[in-house]
Structure 1
Amino acid sequence: MYALILCGRRSIELQKWGNLSVSVKLFQNVFSAFSNSYSSASVTPRDVRKGKNFTVSYLVESLGLASKIAESISRKVSFEDKANPDSVLNLFKSYGFTESQIGDIITDYPLLLIEDAEKSLAPKLQSLQSRGASSSELTEIVSKVPKMLGMKEDKTISVYYDFVREIIKADKSSKFETLCHSSLPQGSAIENKIRNVLVLRELGVPQKLLFSMLISNFRTVCGKAKFEDTIKKVVGMGFDPTSLRFVQALNVVYQMSDETMQEKVSVYKGLGFDVGEVWEMFRKYPPCIGFSEKKILSSVETYLELGFTRDEVTMMVKRFPSCIGLSAETVKRKTEFLVKQMDWSLKDVASHPQVFSYSMEKRIVPRCNVIKALMSKGLLGSKLPSMSPVLSRTDQTFLNKYVLKHDKELVPELMAVFTRVRHGF
């Protein structure tokens, strides 16, 4: 099968995309599906705010996490005292996990912080350690796949642990090793999933994506015949197996019937796109065709209401297909800031649609504040700089061009302007 797939990747041309299927579900489901089995007790809004504030402070002080990462984690899990999270962290330390590994574990799967360290986590770690792995192997494997500790079935945890261990060991060898699992019941869900993940590994899908699919409940890797057919289609499209887009396309193609796919293509055709353009958009951002007709039309309407012309909307979607999936609130907020507060034109925004993916707090506002400060001092002349050079460059390039080249007396002031919003001041 592997040889057929690898050969098909080179021989099937892009023109054959017309008979493929696509999915409503976004790739993010791969990473979040597993956590849906957990629930939290009902709390009041005041309790939520108190818990979130304490959680952020705890994560920053105890794990050294950046405040933004801590805030993101606090939206998934929160607590009001340190007793339980301390017991979890101390347990990991007792097994030899480094501070860096513990930080990675909590960032990847923060729900572990509210697990019972003694009754839930300790027995699982003891069981895994008893399988003969060294301390360094145990900490490496769990650090790469921490969601494993959230599983309830000890047998499932052990099977996945052994499998991940084999992949890590094989990937470290100088010669590529073909792995197989024959100890599992033929046709079982776990057997199907492991077999399919092995196929993806041989195609070059990296560990991080493999392991995320392995421990998810997403149907794409749980079947057999349909999975094989989907793989042949996706590799035939020319997607790079080492990229996130490959896995996105795999999940998308797996889900829809050909008829549903044609209906979605027709929606875009009705907005002025031709079939070739639709598939090029799919190539850039596979989930775009999976959006519902209502979502697609609503997104277009949002841009039109803000004053963009239909041609500009079409251009934005072609260049940056993910902009069709953004919330109306996000689009309005960023457009109004750039146009009303910075005085860039709608045409400027349309020419650089990637701006909708930039963080307001981390990139847009801090950089724009620096530009406004420089203009108020007459250091940029009377003409506003072009949007793309200001927002698309790396932080260091931006600082070199607009901050660090000025007099030593001015640099601290500009740096304060730049960091104020980014650090939440």
Structure 2
Amino acid sequence: MNKLYFSQTNQMLRLIYIKLPKQLKHKASSLTHGHFFSTSSAKPIAELPNSNDPQSPTVSFLQNSCGLSLESAISASQKLNIENLKNPNSVLGLLRTHGLTQTHIRNLISSRPRLLLADLDNTLKPNMELFESLGISSTSLAKMLSNNPHVLPRVLESDAYTVVEFFRAHGFRNEQISTLTMKRPTLYLLNPHKILKPKFEFFKSLGLSGPEIAKLLSTQPTILARSLEKQIIPCVQELRQILGTDENVLKAIKAGYGIIEVNVEKVLKPNMSMLISRGVPQSLALKLFFLGPKSLLMTTCRFSEIVSEVMKLGFDPNKLQFVIAIRSMAMSKTLWEQKVETYRSFGLSKVEIYSAFKRKPLFMAVSEKKIKKSMGFFVNKLKIKPSLISKNPILIRFSLEKRIIPRCSVLQLLISKRLIKEDTSIFQAVIMSENKFVEKLVSKYQNEVPDVVMAHQGKIEFQGFPIDLKQ
């Protein structure tokens, strides 16, 4: 009890000493030649470990080289001694070489000073090089370390190769392992054979292939943190009861990996019951699992708002479009309003936006970024009237890079060669099937104009049409 008391008292006095004005420190230093207490069991301050001394080499190094405050340096110095470090500057140099700033280093060493004791050649350096071999840039690595200061030092000191080789053996590409590393760095603290392997085997038993498991986990890495016995298996059993067959469960999982993490009793079942109570046939309600179960995983309150809104818009609960509309509206109210405003910024009225949504509900399922990019191309580059886009909302669903721009490049080339009429419809050219487009506008002219093949492959830049085409 006395030792603990004296230790705590001495630590407090050290901190008081640190904050004393310079003129008082000289007087206070004289106390170090005597005892604070008259009892024989009390130790003189002179006998305290040097690493706790504000002027000790350890504290100075932590301040000057690592950027720690005096208080943090004194606290960290209790966990290491500069004399025990083979070459602490080499550790810091390695971190800096891999893109860590002084701020990153300060945060890391403050939370885990023993990182300076890491085996540079056998652990720290190989692990840093391993992360780089996965395609993780220095900037990304520094960001990951900075965002996980309490976890990553342990990762850097561990045998990361074991985890990486485990994933590679199960069909993961370096890109997928890199994604997992950035999203879930704590996976390097897990025993892959005791914790990860049973989950992999269970997913295989459901019928998921190695590449599908890799896609599942790199897309939804939080599943790695879920208990197999308490969450994943019970959830699959509940889904089996709802969907009837293992085949349907597998289809639902592939449609939305997050479904494995849902609380079936508190979230999924109440939302299903609500749909049925609003007049949606059970067979139709179940289709949401396969269209994209994201909407069913929303809070009951938000899900109820979406169902009510879809009904107000006049969708028929007995038609497939009803559940497609729910699936497309499955987002926060704020995000929905942001998308509406983005469309409006390109000249569409609110009436036209909802009219387009009723024609093709997936019109609102694209990202806000894609809306801006697609509408910008149609309105500014092709000079298409916004009102015409609302009447052909399927245009927004097509890929600009893979479909629309290459097809426009083909039209641009053929018009310049006077091989097709100037009144060719842009909409018809974009909407027609791939096979029909190739047959009518690529294969037909490739002998006469070989570049038409390159244009269709997106290898010729689209610069705009010489005249306004028919819309």
- Report matched runs for 1:113-124 at 5 Å: 123-124=191-192
SS state of the match for residue 413, structure 2?
helix
Distance 1:291 1:149 in 2: 21
Task: Choose from 291, 295, 301 the match for 1:256.
Answer: 301
Quote the offset at 1:353 in angstroms.
Answer: 0.7
Which deviations, in whole Å up to 9, do the C-alpha atoms of 1:63-118 show, x marking residues without a partner? xxxxxxx9xxx9xx999xxx99987665455x4x4xxx434x96599305898899
SS state of the match for residue 261, structure 2?
coil
Quote the offset at 1:379 in angstroms.
Answer: 1.4
Whether 1:193 aligns to 2:263 is no
Distance 1:209 1:307 in 2: 38
Quote the offset at 1:381 in angstroms.
Answer: 1.2
Instruction: State the structure with bigger RCO (CA 8 A, min sep 6), 1 or 2.
Output: 1
Tell me the residue number matched to 1:331.
Answer: 371
Distance 1:281 1:195 in 2: 29
Distance 2:166 2:445 in 1: 50
Task: Choose from 148, 172, 188 the match for 1:102.
Answer: 172
Letter in 1 for 2:300: Q
Distance 1:205 1:422 in 2: 44
Structure 1 residues 117 and 78, CA gap change in structure 2 (3 angstroms): closer
Distance 2:287 2:276 in 1: 12
Letter in 1 for 2:237: R
- Report matched runs for 1:76-155 at 5 Å: 90-92=165-167, 95=169, 97=170, 101-103=171-173, 107=176, 110-111=179-180, 123-125=191-193, 143-146=211-214, 147=217
SS state of the match for residue 306, structure 1?
coil
- TM-score of the aligned structures, taking structure 1 as reference length: 0.53
Quote the offset at 1:239 in angstroms.
Answer: 3.6
Quote the offset at 1:318 in angstroms.
Answer: 0.6
**Is the Cα–Cα contact under 8 Å of residues 144 and 208 in structure 1 kept in the other structure?**
no
Distance 1:259 1:139 in 2: 34
Quote the offset at 1:196 in angstroms.
Answer: 1.5
Distance 1:137 1:258 in 2: 32
Deviates more, 1:84-93 or 1:369-378: 84-93
List alignment gaps of at least 5 residues for structure 1.
1-40, 45-54, 63-69, 160-187
Distance 1:242 1:195 in 2: 18
Deviates more, 1:363-372 or 1:345-354: 345-354
Which deviations, in whole Å up to 9, do the C-alpha atoms of 1:373-394 show, x marking residues without a partner? 1111111111132414424523
**Is the Cα–Cα contact under 8 Å of residues 271 and 303 in structure 2 kept in the other structure?**
no
Whether 1:210 aligns to 2:253 is yes
Distance 1:416 1:78 in 2: 41
Distance 1:259 1:128 in 2: 37
Quote the offset at 1:371 in angstroms.
Answer: 1.3
**What is the percent sequence identity of the aligned residues?**
17
Whether 1:403 aligns to 2:442 is yes
Structure 1 residues 297 and 232, CA gap change in structure 2 (3 angstroms): closer
SS state of the match for residue 285, structure 1?
helix
**Is the Cα–Cα contact under 8 Å of residues 370 and 414 in structure 1 kept in the other structure?**
yes
Quote the offset at 1:316 in angstroms.
Answer: 0.8
SS state of the match for residue 406, structure 1?
coil
SS state of the match for residue 384, structure 1?
coil
Structure 1 residues 328 and 228, CA gap change in structure 2 (3 angstroms): closer
Structure 1 residues 359 and 276, CA gap change in structure 2 (3 angstroms): same
Distance 1:336 1:130 in 2: 49
Q: How many residues align?
A: 311
**Is the Cα–Cα contact under 8 Å of residues 415 and 422 in structure 2 kept in the other structure?**
yes
Larger radius of gyration: 2
Distance 2:381 2:295 in 1: 38
Distance 1:215 1:248 in 2: 8
Distance 2:368 2:195 in 1: 48
Structure 1 residues 258 and 368, CA gap change in structure 2 (3 angstroms): closer
Letter in 1 for 2:360: F
Distance 2:384 2:368 in 1: 20
SS state of the match for residue 421, structure 2?
coil
- Report matched runs for 1:166-181 at 5 Å: none
Structure 1 residues 342 and 196, CA gap change in structure 2 (3 angstroms): same
Task: Choose from 423, 431, 455 the match for 1:417.
Answer: 455
**Is the Cα–Cα contact under 8 Å of residues 230 and 250 in structure 1 kept in the other structure?**
no
List alignment gaps of at least 5 residues for structure 2.
1-97, 102-129, 146-155, 462-471
Letter in 1 for 2:179: P
Structure 1 residues 58 and 337, CA gap change in structure 2 (3 angstroms): farther
Tell me the residue number matched to 1:27.
Answer: none
Quote the offset at 1:207 in angstroms.
Answer: 0.9
**Is the Cα–Cα contact under 8 Å of residues 267 and 297 in structure 2 kept in the other structure?**
no
Distance 2:301 2:296 in 1: 11
Distance 1:407 1:231 in 2: 53
Structure 1 residues 195 and 206, CA gap change in structure 2 (3 angstroms): closer
Distance 1:278 1:130 in 2: 42
Letter in 2 for 1:209: A
Letter in 1 for 2:444: K
Distance 2:412 2:362 in 1: 29
Tell me the residue number matched to 2:386.
Answer: 346
Distance 1:263 1:227 in 2: 13
Deviates more, 1:314-323 or 1:235-244: 235-244
- TM-score of the aligned structures, taking structure 2 as reference length: 0.49
**Is the Cα–Cα contact under 8 Å of residues 358 and 364 in structure 1 kept in the other structure?**
yes
Whether 1:315 aligns to 2:355 is yes
**Is the Cα–Cα contact under 8 Å of residues 315 and 321 in structure 2 kept in the other structure?**
no
